[in-house]
Chain A
Amino acid sequence: MTLILEALRYLVYVLIFPGFLFCFLTGLLLCGIDRKLVARMQKRVGPPILQPFYDFFKLCGKETIIPAAASKTTFLLAPLVGLAALVVIQLFIPVFRFSAFSNVADIIVILYLLLIPALSVILGGAASGSPYAGVGLSREMVTILSCELPLVLVLLAVAKTVGQALGLGLCFSLTKIVEYQMEYGSLILKLSMLPAAAAFLLIIPGETGSHPFDAAEAETEICEGPLAEYSGAPLGVYKLSHAIKILTMTSLFVALFFGGVGRGLENLVMMLGVSGGLAGALIFLLEILVLFLFCVVLTFLCISVVHAVTARLRIEQLFKYYWTVVTGLALISLVLAWYGL
């Protein structure tokens, strides 16, 4: 009986709350807000906020063409692999105190899983057998290569700071990191973490493949690169993965640097005098709302503004930028954290 309940609970996790449905709705909504904001910044009216939903459903209703040169199974399964990986990441990222799965080394798992969506793009592109996809996937590879190094350094810096404070050496558990922040205040308030936070903000557009770091999917020069041959539902899944990636990266940022906000929310609910089960539910709802608001603000800062004011970088400029400026910022943070500042 308990086993069934447990299984049901995980099913709800995977399918509804931090899992698929939540990702689907918030991801596409964030994507729509991003498009609207970019349009407003360019003095346009912009598409309706629900536009990504329309796009997704339309793509579901389109014919799926499988190119003659493609290997059919890989071509069709690759987008699903990426989507599944993103949903799994979302299960590991705690919404303040709530976490679907907690582990001793969440960060390492997330680091690995974050590679899979990019790999699925590469896989799908390679399977489609198009020269445009070939160029695109080589660029995609360089992009993840350049993002990965600073990302690892940022995560290491955070893990070191929290680990040192808790006397663990290195703390790779996201749940612990968030709990630490609940106790001692958000990491963003620490001087040594500021460069790391800045580096992470710069990683977000690169990891999600948005302007100006979208050399891999440059639609004007290489026909959207790895996605060139995709049509219909698989393309819709890729677009969905791209939208969910925005959610993943921004909520990861919130978990890493703004975990302490959860404490404030709890205090707020306490102050209102609500108690018992109702308080728990209220806190939970507030937490989701605040997380979403944070995601919107971060999307605006890292994706929309950057999209509106910059032009696409060449792939070697992107690489150079990430391995000098962003890595430098992350390294400063890591060194400071290592000396316990």
Chain B
Amino acid sequence: MFKKLIKESTGKSPWLFHINAGSCNGCDIELVSVLTPRYDAERLGFQLTGSPRHADIVVVTGPVTAQSLDRVLRTISQVPEPRCIVTMGSCPQSGNVFRGSYAIAGPLSKYVHVDVDVAGCTPKPEAVIDGLVLATKILEEKRGQMK
């Protein structure tokens, strides 16, 4: 019963951590707008945390520059299990317009398993909510498989 309680709670309280891996700031602004009164993701339990150790969902924006790659991977590895990695915007999925640049180490999926991709440049806040809700479901599944 306790396990079920934990599993259900996991789905209701996903905390976000946002990594900017060289983003143009467009996706960053849209992610923050998801938490504003208009979209208010907090009513679904989403909360932006300051430390990766508190997070459940890691949102990566930006094309993962060569400079940020090491930091991104180190930050992601600090997130406790069960965790979910969401890429936001086209950049972390493929490099977008920066693809092929000497300064880009992406796409992110080369290095870690990405659970959810939210496409768009930048995605609408509604699309971000969609992606996060899907990530929450994956998170709950992962929690169910633990222990």
Contacts and interface: CB of A to CB of B under 8 A. Distances in A.
Interface of A: 35, 39, 42-48, 51, 53-58, 60-65, 132, 218-220, 222-224, 227-232, 235
Nearest to B139: A58
A133 to B, nearest CB: 10
A57 B50 contact: no
A335 B50 CA distance: 44
Nearest to A53: B9
Interface in B100-137: none
B45 A231 contact: no
B80 A62 contact: yes
A61 B81 CA distance: 9
Given A42-B37, A61-B146, A47 B45 contact: yes
A48 B46 CA distance: 11
A46 B82 CA distance: 25
A65 B54 CA distance: 10
Contacts of B99: none
B53 interface: yes
Contact of A228 (B8, B51, B81, B82): B51
B53 A235 contact: yes
Contacts of B78: 65
Q: Residue among A62, A218, A219 with the most chain B CB within 10 A?
A: A62
Interface of B: 3, 5-10, 12-13, 37, 40, 42-43, 45, 48-51, 53-54, 56, 78, 80-82, 143, 146
A46 B13 CA distance: 13
B9 A65 contact: no
Given A51-B13, A232-B80, 9 more contacts: A39-B42, A48-B45, A55-B9, A57-B5, A60-B6, A61-B3, A218-B50, A230-B53, A231-B80
Contacts, number: 91
A224 B45 contact: no
B73 to A, nearest CB: 16
A39 B37 CA distance: 8
A61 B10 contact: yes
A51 to B, nearest CB: 6
B49 A219 contact: yes
Question: Nearest 8 pairs between A and B by C-beta?
Answer: A219-B50, A61-B6, A57-B9, A63-B80, A231-B53, A223-B51, A54-B13, A54-B12
A46 B40 contact: yes
Contact of A235 (B6, B7, B50, B54): B54
B18 to A, nearest CB: 11
